[in-house]
């Protein structure tokens, strides 16, 4: 790396952490600007396919959209990888507390930003041309760039401090290019938990190992996320204290509960909520979409706005209202009628044997974040072969990615 053209960033306090990386507050020494710096667990320079290298290439590919964090740079030091990017706010998941939901207007506006162009005045079209209807939505932008996110969830949708009317989609660590041949997705043949993404939010196709993943999987995950925002919960979400189970038991329970939830459960006569009914229809649409089909995202943006009586053109610059709301009682009661099966439900013989041999019982919070993944999916060094760029595209991306250098500051 040419240090003469590298930005120097000083690492400060920790902002958050996941199973495989930690995010720090960073300061650009030349300007004093605050940025977010994602640091990957130990990855030496001898690793030829480091994980964050792929994520930064995806970010570079998606640059120039307001729902995508601005990339500052990438650095691979002697022992760690780093990505510096725009400093964003907290995840929208943090706004849902104590079983309280959000207003239908807010949930609809979040959904519109994810699936629909800012302008709802243009006729519905399968074209992904930003000139046809204004700024592309987040998922439209990904599709236009040939990218599949594969982990859409409330924890990966962040508030935008610079514009309180906007949200940003983050965490592209397991995103992939649709044009790259994918004979199988990671963990597709894992016996116990063939999950790509996060357990609570992944599609039925992922549970059933129908790979490779497609745009419909991202859309189904979004439907679960929006339903969670308006209801304050989902039938299959359990607290760490209320249930202890193996990974296999958790995956089986969540799969069965998702299968039991249908669009018919969310009609207005059952849920008392027009937006919930629209989410039910969106859920069924995503589940029935053929793998080769592109979803009509613009149509669903219009549907979401109409269901919540939201004038998107009038409200697009207004701050999003994150104040808690009591979820519609009928909706809460209806979701409670989709009970998760007992964690002690009968498992297949091979899963029982595997669980018994493992011995340990682990708690499942809201994701498959416990370090129990197969080595070919989350290896200690090189990333999985399905998460890749063609050599020519990788080189073009790398030439555009700004470099930077990390300075560590003692916090004591």
What's the topology of domain 92-358? Transferase(Phosphotransferase); domain 1 (1.10.510)
CA gap 360, 325 in Å, rounded:
39
Q: Please say whether the structural domain 3-87+382-408 has been given the CATH code 3.30.200.20.
A: yes
Selection from 267, 277, 172, 274 nearest residue 218 by Cα: 172
Supply the mean pLDDT for the chain: 82
Residue numbering of the annotated binding site: 39
CA gap 20, 390 in Å, rounded:
25
Asked if 66 contacts 166 with a C-beta cutoff of 8 angstroms, the reply is yes
- pLDDT per position as a tens digit, 246-268: 778 888 899 999 999 999 899 99
- CB within 8 Å of 318: residues ≥ 6 apart: 165
Alpha-carbon separation of residue 230 from 6, 150, 214, 223, 225 (angstroms): 44, 22, 26, 11, 9
Q: What is the pLDDT, as a whole number, of residue 355?
A: 36
pTM for the predicted model, two decimal places: 0.86
pLDDT category of residue 245 using cuts at 50, 70 and 90 = confident
User: Around Cβ 101, how many Cβ atoms within 10 Å?
Assistant: 25
Q: What is the pLDDT, as a whole number, of residue 177?
A: 94
266: helix, coil or strand?
A: helix
Asked if 327 contacts 228 with a C-beta cutoff of 8 angstroms, the reply is no
Q: What is the pLDDT, as a whole number, of residue 17?
A: 85
Asked if 368 contacts 153 with a C-beta cutoff of 8 angstroms, the reply is no
User: Around Cβ 11, how many Cβ atoms within 10 Å?
Assistant: 19
Residue 277 in tokens: 């009914």
pLDDT category of residue 381 using cuts at 50, 70 and 90 = very low
Alpha-carbon separation of residue 219 from 48, 142, 214, 223, 287 (angstroms): 33, 12, 9, 6, 9
Tell me the average pLDDT across 105-114: 96
Residue 325 in tokens: 């709301």
Q: Is 99 left (phi over 0), alpha (psi -120 to 50) or beta?
A: left
CA gap 293, 158 in Å, rounded:
28
Residue numbering of the annotated binding site for ATP: 39
Asked if 7 contacts 75 with a C-beta cutoff of 8 angstroms, the reply is no
Residue 297 in tokens: 């995202």
Q: What is the pLDDT, as a whole number, of residue 42?
A: 82
CA gap 186, 387 in Å, rounded:
9
Domain boundaries, the chain: 3-87+382-408, 92-358
- CB within 8 Å of 30: residues ≥ 6 apart: 7, 8
Residue 386 in tokens: 């399905």
Question: Lowest mean pLDDT: which of 227-236, 262-271, 369-378?
Answer: 369-378
β strands within 30-171, DSSP E: 34-40, 71-76, 81-86, 147-148, 157-159, 167-169
Selection from 310, 243, 299 nearest residue 274 by Cα: 310
Tell me the average pLDDT across 261-290: 95
Selection from 69, 72, 108 nearest residue 89 by Cα: 69
Question: Lowest mean pLDDT: which of 147-161, 243-257, 276-290, 330-344?
Answer: 330-344
- β-pairing, 71-76 vs 34-40, is unpaired
Count, in order, helices (H) and strands (E) of the chain. 13, 10
Which residue reads 């943090």 in tokens?
Answer: 94
Give yes or no for residue 357 having a pLDDT over 70: no
Give yes or no for residue 284 having a pLDDT over 90: yes
């Amino acid at each position: 790396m040419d240090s003469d053209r590298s930005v120097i960033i000083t690492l400060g306090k920790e902002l958050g952490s996941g199973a495989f990386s930690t995010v720090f507050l960073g300061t650009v020494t030349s300007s004093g600007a605050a940025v977010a710096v994602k640091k990957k667990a130990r990855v030496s320079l001898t690793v030829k396919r480091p994980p964050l290298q792929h994520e930064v290439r995806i970010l570079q590919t998606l640059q120039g959209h307001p729902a995508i964090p601005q990339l500052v740079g990438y650095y691979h030091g002697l022992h760690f990888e780093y990505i510096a990017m725009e400093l964003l706010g907290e995840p929208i998941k943090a706004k849902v507390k104590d079983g309280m939901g959000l207003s239908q207007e807010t949930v609809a506006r979040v959904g519109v930003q994810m699936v629909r162009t800012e302008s709802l005045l243009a006729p519905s079209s399968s074209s992904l041309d930003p000139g046809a209807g204004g700024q592309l939505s987040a998922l439209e932008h990904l599709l236009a760039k040939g990218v599949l996110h594969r982990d859409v969830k409330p924890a990966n949708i962040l508030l935008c401090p610079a514009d309180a009317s906007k949200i940003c989609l983050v965490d592209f660590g397991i995103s992939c290019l649709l044009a790259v041949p994918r004979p199988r997705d990671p963990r597709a043949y894992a016996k116990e938990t063939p999950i790509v993404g996060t357990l609570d939010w992944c599609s039925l196709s992922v549970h059933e190992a129908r790979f490779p993943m497609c745009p419909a999987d991202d859309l189904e995950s979004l439907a679960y996320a929006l339903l969670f925002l308006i209801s304050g919960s989902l039938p299959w979400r359990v607290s760490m204290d209320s249930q202890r189970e193996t990974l296999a038991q958790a995956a089986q329970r969540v799969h069965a509960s998702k299968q039991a939830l249908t669009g018919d459960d969310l009609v207005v006569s059952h849920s008392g909520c027009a937006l919930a009914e629209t989410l039910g229809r969106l859920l069924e649409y995503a589940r029935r979409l053929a793998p080769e089909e592109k979803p009509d995202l613009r149509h669903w943006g219009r549907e979401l706005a109409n269901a919540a009586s939201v004038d998107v053109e009038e409200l697009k610059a207004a701050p999003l209202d994150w104040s808690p709301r009591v979820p519609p009682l009928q909706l809460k009661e209806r979701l409670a009628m989709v009970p998760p099966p007992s964690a002690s439900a009968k498992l297949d013989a091979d899963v029982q044997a595997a669980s018994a041999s493992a011995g340990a019982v682990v708690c499942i919070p809201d994701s498959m974040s416990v370090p129990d993944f197969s080595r070919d999916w989350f290896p200690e060094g090189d990333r999985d072969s399905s998460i890749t760029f063609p050599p020519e595209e990788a080189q073009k991306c790398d030439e555009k990615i700004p470099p930077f250098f990390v300075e560590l500051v003692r916090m004591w």
